[in-house]
Each structure stands twice: as structure tokens, then as C-alpha cells.
Structure 1
Amino acid sequence: MRPNIIPQAARLLNASNAARFSFIERDKVIETPNFTLIQNRLAELEAHHRVIRPPNLAIVGESGIGKTHALTDFADHRPPRRSAEGRLKVRVLHVQYPPLPDNRWLAGSMASKLGYQLALPRGEMAVFELLVDLLEDASTRLIIVEELNQLAEWPRSEVREFHGIIRWLSNESKVPMVLSGTEEVLDLIDGDVQLRRRFERLILSPWKLDEAFAGFVSGYLQTIPLRNETVIDRSFIERLHEAAEGITDTTVKVLQNAAKHAILDGAEKIEARHIQKDATQPPPSTGKRQVARRTKRRRLR
């Protein structure tokens, strides 16, 4: 057993290529600086006292920088539970903003995750009044809304409605809110004077070519079932950083693809030649035979 990889990976060193590929592709929690920064701030908001103007947070960064990974992990560690009376308790409500211009969709998604199974009221105001009641019943302490940047393409009237909904919901529920997305989120929040004053900014930057990035790479390689140890020198880190442009998700995909190539060619360690600069290329496969579908022949009459 190699001492520099985690036990789950070590147990797969002699497994089939398919089994190792499957493990390589799984999500893995690596506590990056951005991951820790986000989770620490979320924990502070979750523990905040209920006040008339609760603190709110906007998390902004490029796609793939690690926002969703940190937010999802935080919510997953606080799953909904049933009280002794059978009521659903949702301490952290985690939803995504709808892909189409429809604020009722957001309300419906939130209500559904709070355990509401009936049709929503017809009136817009009644919908959000119901939502406040559901948040109270569920003892919700934090609301997380992702992919807010999709609003940037919505009609101006819908954006104004969004501003009003967020202000009202924050005031009435007294629950801290976290809005997450790409840089368009700041433009959306800054479009309303009150929201601009209420939302703290947490702006995430891509990895720099430094020791922190090398540490992340080293930590991630410990989760990959390769029989030989990868040499992490300056040229390796420079090539990887250039290929992934400092984006966490892209770095992970580049390493996953490189590890698969290293398994297939027998190197069993990632070398510079395995690192492909274009992470959009199809990943290598195990070469398993595909079963062709049989088609029924028509009978001649």
C-alpha cells in the first residue's frame, strides 16, 4: 500500500481499470482556501441572531472556481430532519435560481424543499407570505440561492421584481441570505440601492501559481489510485496551472484525465505528457466493448 494516498484509493490499486476510473471520477472534498473561506462565513451567518436586518452575503467568482462545491457540502452536512411532531426542519435551504424568467418558480422550489406539497396560491403576495410561514415552521437559519447570474438575461421588469422579493423576504423572514454566481451578480445587486447596502461581497479569485496551488494539487493526487508517486516539481505545476488557468474544477478535470492516461499507458503516475491543455477533450475510456443494439428485420411479404 502506498503511504501517500488515502486508504480508499489504495484499496483500488489492483482493481480493474473500470473500477479505478469510476473512483477517479467521483466528487472529493479538498479543503481549498476558497472552500474554507466560504464555509466559515456560512457558519457565521447560520449562527447569527435573528434581527430586523439580517446580514447577507454575495459570493462571486468564475464558473468552476469552487462556489457550488463549498455551498453544497455545507448544506449536505445539515440535511432536513423531522421533528418529534413530524414537522420538516430545514436549517439550511439550498436552491438554484430558475433558468427562465419566472419568480414563482423560485418560490415553488423553495416551498417544495420546505416540505410544501400543495399547489401554490394564485396571488404573488400570497405565495411569498406562505413562504415566510414555511421558513418559520421549518426553523430555517440560512437561505442559499445559486446561479443568480442567470437573472442578467431577464427582462428589466423581472429584475425589478426580484429586487423587491429579496428585500421583502429578507425583512419578513429575518433569515440571512446568500446569493451566489458569476460577476453579473454584483451588477444585479448594485442595481438596487438597498440591496447594495445589505449584501457583503465575497469575491473569489482563481489560483495563483504558488505554493497554495501546489498544495492543492498534492492533496488531490492523494485521492487518485495510481501505483507510482507523481513527481510534483516546478515544471509540472506550471504546465498544470497553464492548462487549467487557475480554475479549480478545470484543474480537477485535467488531473482526472491525466490519471486515466497514466493508467492506460502503464506509467501509473502522472507525467507532463499526460496533462492536456484542452480540458474539453473527451476523457480516455477503459476500452470496454460496446454492445451493439440488434434491430428487428422486417419480414418480406
Structure 2
Amino acid sequence: METNERLDLVRSDRWIAFDRANIVLNRLTSLMEMPRQSRMPGLMVYGSSGIGKTMIAKRMESLYPTQYEADIGVTQTPILLLQAPPAPDERRFYQHILASIGAPMWGRHTVSELEVRALSHLRDMDLKMIMIDEVHNLLAGSYREQRRFLNMLRFLANDLSASLVVFGVNEAVDAIRGDEQLARRLDEHFLPLWEDDIEFSRLIQTLIAAMQLERGSSLSVHSLRTILGMTGGVTSRVFTMVKALAIDAIETGEERITDEAVQAWQPIWAKHSWSIRRQPVPAF
């Protein structure tokens, strides 16, 4: 593979499997394989911004792509991944559903009309899971608007006998739990910030291996703690840092990530924008 191709591969937004993400995917797969019932169980995945929720949601969607059954002329879509609207707006959400499945409704329609049209299409698609990303957006609405939006999500899941999966930041948890009926249906999976432990070490090893460098990279414990401190344990920042180090290793011909490179690396995000505390790097 030529250098430019390798650099493009490193820079690409591709799936890199790691243990924590696979655990969530396994839970979601179990929901997909569950026989249909009137009240399908669901899942709420939550954690800090950048911890990997959207990445997992998109990966799950890719594992169950839309398929066209030519013999019966039906398009089956096992999973529908949607982003919650900026505020808990039922009309906008139904319009988003219709646009996402290629069936937009033009002109002015009531919420009931949009609901009937959306449900009709979704039933024809043989949907088994509805995934709502950025569900914390509902916090932008009043308490009453939040309750109505959550009722709508519960109604959709009930009517379609589909599993409901929501992804959001920590602050959205209390809002979801405020709907007792929905909370009973949604199991919870928390994605914490990375810590100085063997799990984080395995993550770094997995990422470096995916960079396909020509020489092995054997980082010291101090370097691992430096990466953890610079990124604050946020998955997206860990990925960004390791990719940047890999690109530099390829461009310089070093073909490995060294302790010196880790110590010299400067984060591309401004220090004043860090939303989480920087973890200290112990002196040796």
C-alpha cells in the first residue's frame, strides 16, 4: 500500500473495534434477536460527550442494512437511526422520520396526519429497532414538552413492537427516568471516561494496531498516562491523538509511535475548551 493510501486509511472515519464498544453492540444484537412481543425491551446508552455513543450507534446500523426483497417488492429496514430534534418537537420528529425513509410530506399537516403516515411506512419496513441519538436535546424543552416527547417515543415502540434505544449525555438520564413507564422498559448502560487501568492500555494497543505501522510501538506506562491526561479520557480525543501520532510516524518514516513523540505532541483543542478535568501525569 502506498504512503498516501495509508494516510487516507488512518484519516478515514472507519470502525475500529474495542472491548467497551463490543459489549454495547452485543447487548444491542441481543435485542435484535429477541422475538417480537407487545412490549419490547430497550436500552439507554449514556456518558460524556465524545465517549463513543454515536460511533457505536452508526456501527450497529451498518450491521443491519436496508435490504430490498425483489421477489415480493418490499424494502426491509431492520434499524432506523435518527437524531433527536434540537428541542422536543413531535411535528419536527415525524417529519424527520419521513424524510429519513424517503417519504417526505410537503405542505401543512397536523401532527396526527404525520404520525399516521410515518407509522404506515415504518410498519411496511418490518422495523425491529429505533435508535435515537442525541436524546439529551429534549432537555431544551419544558417539562411538559419533555413528557409529551417521551410518550411519543414509547408509543412508537409499542405500536411497532420494536426495541427503543436512546443515546445521550449524562444529563438526559434524569429526564428519561422521569417517565416511569419508559424507564422500566429501558435498561441502562453507562460509558465512563477512560481511566488509568488495563482497559485503557488495551484500547491504545488496539488503536495502534489498526494504524498498520510497519514497526511495533511499545509505549511506556508514563506515555499511556500522558495520553490519558491530554485527552481527559474522552474516546474521540484518544482516537484523534493516536491517529495524529500515527500520521506523523508515517510521514517521518519512523513507522512507530514513540514515547518521545507522545511527550512532544500538542493537542489540537484549546486548553480553555476542555469540558473535563485533565488528569495528572505522575512524575517518575
TM-score between the two structures when normalised by the length of structure 1? 0.80
Does the residue aligned with 2:210 lie in a helix, a strand or coil? coil
Letter in 2 for 1:280: W
User: Would you say the 8 A contact 1:149–1:181 is kept in 2?
Assistant: yes
Match of 2:37 in 1: 51
Residue in 2 that maps onto 1:201: 188
Is 1:215 matched with 2:202? yes
Match of 2:58 among 58, 66, 72: 72
- Once the two structures are TM-superposed, the CA of residue 252 in structure 1 deviates from its matched residue by 0.8
Q: Which letter does structure 2 place at the counterpart of 1:237? A: L
1:98 is matched with 85
Higher helix proportion? 2
Which segments of 5 or more consecutive residues in structure 2 lack a partner in the other structure?
271-284
Cα gap change, 1:171 to 1:264, in 2 (>3 Å): closer
Tell whether the 8 Å contact from 2:85 to 2:93 is kept in structure 1 after alignment. Answer: yes
**SS of equivalent residue, structure 2 residue 215:** coil
Residue 8 (structure 1) aligns with: none
- Distance in structure 1 (CA, Å) of the matches to 2:23 and 2:68: 30
In 2, distance between residues paired with 1:159 and 1:117?
25
Larger Rg: 1
Q: Give 1:65 deviation, angstroms.
A: 1.5
Is 1:158 the counterpart of 2:126? The answer is no
Per the alignment, residue 181 of structure 1 pairs with 168
Whole-angstrom CA distance in 2 between matches of 1:260 and 1:29: 17
**Deviations 1:7-30 (CA, angstroms, capped at 9, x unpaired):** xxxx24xx25xx443222112323
| Change in 2 beyond 3 A, CA 1:104/1:230 | same
Cα distance change, pair 139–49 in 1 and its aligned pair in 2 (3 A):
same
Q: Would you say the 8 A contact 2:90–2:111 is kept in 1?
A: no
Partner residue of 1:82?
68
Calculate percent identity across the aligned residue pairs. Answer: 24
Conserved 8 A contact 1:250-1:279? no
Rate the CA distance shift 1:47–1:76 in 2: closer, same or farther, 3 A. same
Letter in 1 for 2:180: V
Describe the superposition over 1:206-230 as per-residue Cα deviations: whole angstroms up to 9, x where unpaired.
2222222212211211222544322
Alignment match, 1:251:
238
Aligned CA distance change for structure 1 residues 116 and 155 (closer, same or farther; 3 Å): same
Counterpart residue number, 2:94: 107
Unaligned runs of 5+ in 1: 1-10, 282-301
Aligned residues: 267
Q: Which amino acid aligns with 1:278?
A: P
**Code of the aligned partner of 2:66:** P
- What's the CA shift string for 1:27-53, capped at 9, x where partnerless? 232322221111111111112222221
Query: For 1:171, what is the secondary structure of its paired residue?
Result: helix
Query: Counterpart of 1:122 in 2: which secondary structure?
Result: coil
Report the TM-score, using the length of structure 2 for normalisation.
Answer: 0.85
Counterparts in 2 of 1:130-149, with a 5 A limit? 130-149=117-136
